[in-house]
Structure 1
């Protein structure tokens, strides 16, 4: 294979070793199986360094806001006369599908219900518990994760399209370390990025297969067995391989736009057939609570309350680590489709549009779920406990008109999100392991596609998705340090650019 870097071989070897480790039965190595070892490491990191994840994620948000209001906002991610390659709807659809697609569908009803029954702190009334539940759902899927994505995507786009560097994570640190990034240190950074990408995406594919199986079970009464989930993974793998063959400007582009349209249709249907007034009131008041309480939530730890500390470790700190683990994949993909936008336009779009959409999504699905529990006595939490988290969405849809049709639409949506996430990941992994090639070799993409699907299938079969997710989050710790260095590198590069040529406001054509 031409253009393949040593990052490809090292990353592939590590991925295969982890898969082999993951399929070893727990009885064979009770103290050294993947799930046990990674759980111990993750527990140590979350307990001892939870404050680090919290401060780091908040620092990225502050940095993103600074870029919007600073003089650096006029810098173009490309040459000065470059125009955006994709219109706003297509651009939004592509970054959104890659960043949170399956997760939003999976957790849209489930997370608010979970927080409603187990709030982050003691609440006096049921209504307050409901408000806090939705507020923290906004928090976990709002400004912070997208600030993390924006930071790394901005760096990649700037150094690749404006400075002509390869589209690699290591390239973003050249202002700090120079040619050292072309050697072993740069290779190590890129391998960490590939590791986090492979296992983060594979876990999401496994979760997606579980939820698609749950939807099929609801529609057909066909049991959501491991065999069905294996078939789903095989079928979707074939579909996203076909999508990958069509390239970025066809497969991912059209599917991403389809994702947004189907998601909006599903959301609007539930909004207008459900408790519309309740949902919109809930959305409005929670949006205000989220914004007004954002500083307090951003720095909230619980040093005097072990129960609250456990909740934060299990949700907020876990999420921040998870988003950091996803940052190499999502950031590289967003960078690839954002050429020609100014820094201000880019950061504002990446922060605001997905955050508002996510807030509305959680209000509609989470609000409907909470309304069913509070006003109709439907115990969705117990159904989730018995049938799995993936059942929450279909339990909600079951209580509204055209439930079978809407469930089918939801299954289609999850499937298209599944395809675009996997397709995007194979594209990004191909770039990372071919020295930043903007059009990676198809053989490389196919290999990474099979590794992703194989990883998801094997560990789903062995019940090891939790271990895989934990392994990805462990990779987030060193990558958080890399992200901090990237921020310092961006500031140094921007200052140098401002010194060499004053930054003038540029009129944009839309």
Structure 2
């Protein structure tokens, strides 16, 4: 892979631009504290992030009002926009599969995959999952079943608290299908666009491994000037706020678990302390680098997640868990189009409060996850790449969500009056406690809940250190070997942003950070679809 200081060949093909690169414009320069400063991108991004942190800490009440207004506008007014954009990404992926462009390989005609299918599938799954599996695995299926139905399905719980037996099966199926919508093909289509753009322009066209490279067909040499700087700065903040949301949710769930098992107080102060401690661990991991830190933690993370999943599946009501997965999957396929319609039959609270936020969150994570997927997918054909990235991680997540949601729903109706799942999700909404409400009715509750806390913290660390490396690469102009102090700086900034968002408004502030960056960056990704086609037109097939 080319670094920004390598000689870069011109882009091949019959595009109407002179594809030559001014290398002087993309080389960084070593500044104070050993930072590799890439033109204005590092300076503007870092100073703006520090200013945001200071203003939020100085004026938390005012910041909270601003965050609230951003969430209201993005999810209440622009919900249709986010749904149209993500639907378009799915159509874009389908077109790539069924056109002759699908035979083109990332890296050129002679390129071959660097990883086996098993290794590649494992890394695809690891790239796109995070604390969300633990935070939402019980919460979403139960909540959509009983409170916010995706397609207006009557709740199985009557106004007087009685159970409507006739509505149970349909409500359960729609609760799981609505959850699959948010964690399945739609979100992975977002990642396909980003990863494909980076892979094509890096491996096939010889450009630096940077977001701005994808815009060379539109901007030409200007991509190395302020237009490119703005694109990379948007990518930096999109990644920072997307990660900060995950870190904030992780801190809330870890705090809730510590309260559930050990009685530790649930408070912003405790969550801030959790973020500080975990960020310190992430700093060590970032210092050790990709192989010495991130890779080892990811391997531990995957093993623990698998063992945790198998425990819930086989110790809990196994048949109810498997039936939940399958019923949800069938309903998801049947209702795919109605659930995807921007002006369709979905409940307003469901569409605005959940779907619009999720689509903004996926867009915010796109630079982070897309870069990782691109780095491990060289040698794959476009058709193979798109099909596998859309389907393999989605199915794995469906199994996880189906099992956890199926177990929780079975517990809910087996003992509705004494169910902690009902208390935490329906009666007294406490989303961070929903997982522990389900674990409370399984054997070895204390031990398993402690493992869940540890797993959440490891997810927390791996997200932080991986994200730091990605932001570092963007701000260094595509270099993957920037100085270690620079990586530590971005890991610290991520933790601080998560802290100030919690102080400035909790979950609503976390959502505001994601939606605020998701709006402009979604426009960037729409333009990427055009530049991808421009690049594919010049590729030999």
> TM-score, normalised to structure 2's length?
0.86
Post-superposition CA distance 1:275-316 (Å, at most 9, x none): 21122122212211111221221114258x9xx223311111
Q: Secondary structure at the match of 1:390?
A: helix
1:7 aligns with 2:41: yes
1:325 aligns with 2:364: yes
Q: Is the 8 A contact 2:408 2:438 kept in 1?
A: yes
Q: Cα RMSD (Å) of the superposition?
A: 2.1
Post-superposition CA distance 1:247-278 (Å, at most 9, x none): 22332223223322222221121111112112
Equivalent residue, structure 1, for 2:206:
164
Q: Secondary structure at the match of 1:489?
A: helix
Q: Aligned partners of 1:392 and 1:263: how far apart in 2? A: 18
Moved more, 74-83 or 282-291: 74-83
Unaligned runs of 5+ in 2: 1-29, 155-166
Post-superposition CA distance 1:17-45 (Å, at most 9, x none): 21122223455xxxxx2222233234233
Using a 3 Å threshold, how does the CA distance of structure 1 residues 8 and 362 change in structure 2: closer, same or farther? same
Q: Aligned partners of 1:310 and 1:302: how far apart in 2? A: 13
1:417 aligns with 2:459: yes
Post-superposition CA distance 1:65-124 (Å, at most 9, x none): 222333222322224444434444444444433423111111000111111221134324
Equivalent residue, structure 2, for 1:19:
53
Using a 3 Å threshold, how does the CA distance of structure 1 residues 96 and 417 change in structure 2: closer, same or farther? farther
Using a 3 Å threshold, how does the CA distance of structure 1 residues 488 and 139 change in structure 2: closer, same or farther? same
Moved more, 483-492 or 450-459: 450-459
Equivalent residue, structure 2, for 1:485:
527
Using a 3 Å threshold, how does the CA distance of structure 1 residues 166 and 188 change in structure 2: closer, same or farther? same
How far does residue 202 in structure 1 lie from its aligned partner after superposition? 1.3
Q: For 2:238, which of 181, 186, 196 is the aligned residue?
A: 196
Q: Is the 8 A contact 2:71 2:511 kept in 1?
A: no
Q: Is the 8 A contact 2:502 2:510 kept in 1?
A: no
Q: Is the 8 A contact 2:60 2:504 kept in 1?
A: no
Alignment of 1:417-496 (within 5 A): 417-496=459-538
Q: Aligned partners of 2:192 and 2:507: how far apart in 1? A: 28
How far does residue 147 in structure 1 lie from its aligned partner after superposition? 0.6
Q: Aligned partners of 1:294 and 1:121: how far apart in 2? A: 11
Q: For 1:99, which of 123, 128, 135 is the aligned residue?
A: 128
Q: Is the 8 A contact 1:430 1:441 kept in 2?
A: no
Q: Is the 8 A contact 1:94 1:253 kept in 2?
A: no
> TM-score, normalised to structure 1's length?
0.91
Q: Which runs of 4+ in 1 moved over 6 A?
A: none
Equivalent residue, structure 2, for 1:382:
423
Equivalent residue, structure 1, for 2:355:
316
Q: Aligned partners of 2:278 and 2:119: how far apart in 1? A: 22
Q: Aligned partners of 2:96 and 2:483: how far apart in 1? A: 35
Using a 3 Å threshold, how does the CA distance of structure 1 residues 22 and 321 change in structure 2: closer, same or farther? same
Q: Aligned partners of 2:514 and 2:175: how far apart in 1? A: 26
Q: Aligned partners of 1:280 and 1:484: how far apart in 2? A: 38
Moved more, 112-121 or 442-451: 112-121
1:41 aligns with 2:75: no
Q: Secondary structure at the match of 2:460?
A: helix
Q: Aligned partners of 1:427 and 1:460: how far apart in 2? A: 24
1:279 aligns with 2:318: no
